[in-house]
Structure 1
Amino acid sequence: MTVLVTGGAGYIGSHMVLALADAGKDVVVLDDLSTGFEWMVHSSATLIEGDVGDEALVSDIIQKHGIKAIAHFAGSIVVPESVTDPLGYYLNNTVKSRSLISAAVRSGVEKFLFSSTAAVYGDARLSPISETTPLNPVSPYGTSKLMTEMMLRDVARAHPLRFVALRYFNVAGADPYGRSGQSTRQATHLIKVATQAALGERSRLEIFGNDYPTPDGTCLRDYIHVSDLAHAHTLALDYLDAGEDSIVLNCGYGRGYSVLEVVEAVRRVSGVDFAVNLSARRPGDPATLIASAAQIHEVLKWSPKFDDLEAIISHALAWENGLKVRRARAA
């Protein structure tokens, strides 16, 4: 079976390509390389540079390569940026997803994996957050993802397409074998930024708000290793292969760490006491996002291998150090 991975040259998408390639599956990657990197795509995959919103191109790829399933990772992901550029996020995350889904339906693709987000819950008052927690996104990013979930739900009712949407919590870390990781220099992920500060790539780390209703005043997040997330997607594909119905599942570990706890863990793992600066809250940041992961364990039989904050940081730090060496050689 050949799988089309959109955004497969990016952070999470490239790890999905690795997981599929490791499982012996044929993979085609569609990526516009605006934030992805050609060198991060597994050598066994076919890379096509193009726009996921180009319905004619997607239809042509499906027909030429015999695509049987689509794993959709392409899109924009920075919450504060979505607040200042809502139309850009509705274009990239919603309008283009509509075109992709349309091409899938017209071409007879019946299996679809969607990269969703815990941001669909907004500033949830319940913790941990289950799949039945009310949906109330507080950023255009979260709303743009929720709109795509809704499209998939409605399309699945009208056509043979079945889908699994995984609502990620905070993805971090890197491939344990050093094959891929978060490579965007200006990424906003906390662990990425903290490892950059530890390696001297940034002069300091910014903490956005310390007056949240949490034990130490900083935001609480459920950090999940990117390789565990990729594995969850391969299990979701197996689930659809078995003929099961469409489903939406949380993907997290069910345990939260504050920003300050993560900072101290990065200092501990790296052995570097980097500078930290306190700034005002960012718009669109909920105080607490911690998953209830009971359903994904039950439905997909998912068993994480890297459920350890220091392991996540260690893999992220090793990847960041490798990037630093790579850039120095290219200079």
Structure 2
Amino acid sequence: MPIKVKNDLPVRDILEKENIFVVDENRAMHQDIRSLQICILNLMPLKEDTELQLLRSLSNTPLQIDVSFMQMSSHHSTNTSPNHLDRFYHTFDELKENTYDGLIITGAPVEQMKFEEVDYWEELCRVFEWSKVNVTSTFHICWGAQAGIYYHYGIDKEPLPEKRFGVYQHRVMNRKVPLVRGFDDVFYMPHSRHTETPADKIHACDDLVVLAESPVAGVFLCMNKAGSQIFAMGHAEYDRLTLDSEYKRDLSKGLPIQPPVNYYPDNNPDNKPDLVWRGHANNLYTNWLNYYVYQNTPYKWGQILDEEKRSLAKHGLTQKINK
């Protein structure tokens, strides 16, 4: 699938070397194609790493995608150069008048804080509310999933006795739901977190459908019945060495950390990790783009948005959209 990115986005060279079809702005301007508009709210500190992982994940369908990157203006990022942020990222206030076919909200290394203590929580809540009307389907990842479930359904995260860290086996729970179409009965996905949203509370929520779960790692994938809000508690987008980098980073900091489970052959960190989740990860993002973004999105977003605003205005809810 061709991905439209800015001509000088640094990860573009890596994508092209991996034979991922990348369209630059000049070529895209001469094509009569209605690209899917995807916005990525990147909350991770190493933003370029996450850009590469997500663009890889979005590259496996014949649909053309135009990607925009969002950052929180209420947070100062110290791990990505200001020049990169200035050239390739926009704030929510700069993008809030737009409509998007899909929105991805990444994880963030703030899970051990209460949601309200995160410096950009108020701004993120505006994004959550805005996404209800301005986005066809929103895909939340890890802490982003916990935060989304907390905002939309009031279910808080809880601390784990130790970091859930490794590659875990999950079982598909609702095979007829298109998001897990093509999945095997059991599959593996990475997790890296200190907290969890309790599985029993997710199951008890009438509007949430659990699609994949692990007896050890808990719920991996759930969504609302409309498919407009999707929550993945793990990291399908991780590449082969991401957990390895996290493990060595924590070791270098003297943090209490065990090798990620089910990751290194013979549990030996000197061995090259096996990549056992890429096929299902690709399938997950392809299904999301096809069934919940492309097939549900209106061709003329502006007209639909005006109708939504008129409908909400009748109920006194327009203030939420314009926040």
Quickly name the TM-score band, shorter chain normalised: 0.3 to 0.5
- Structure number with the higher strand fraction is 2
TM superposition score normalised by structure 2: 0.41
Higher relative contact order (CA 8 A, sep 6+): 1
- Structure number with the higher helix fraction is 1
TM superposition score normalised by structure 1: 0.40
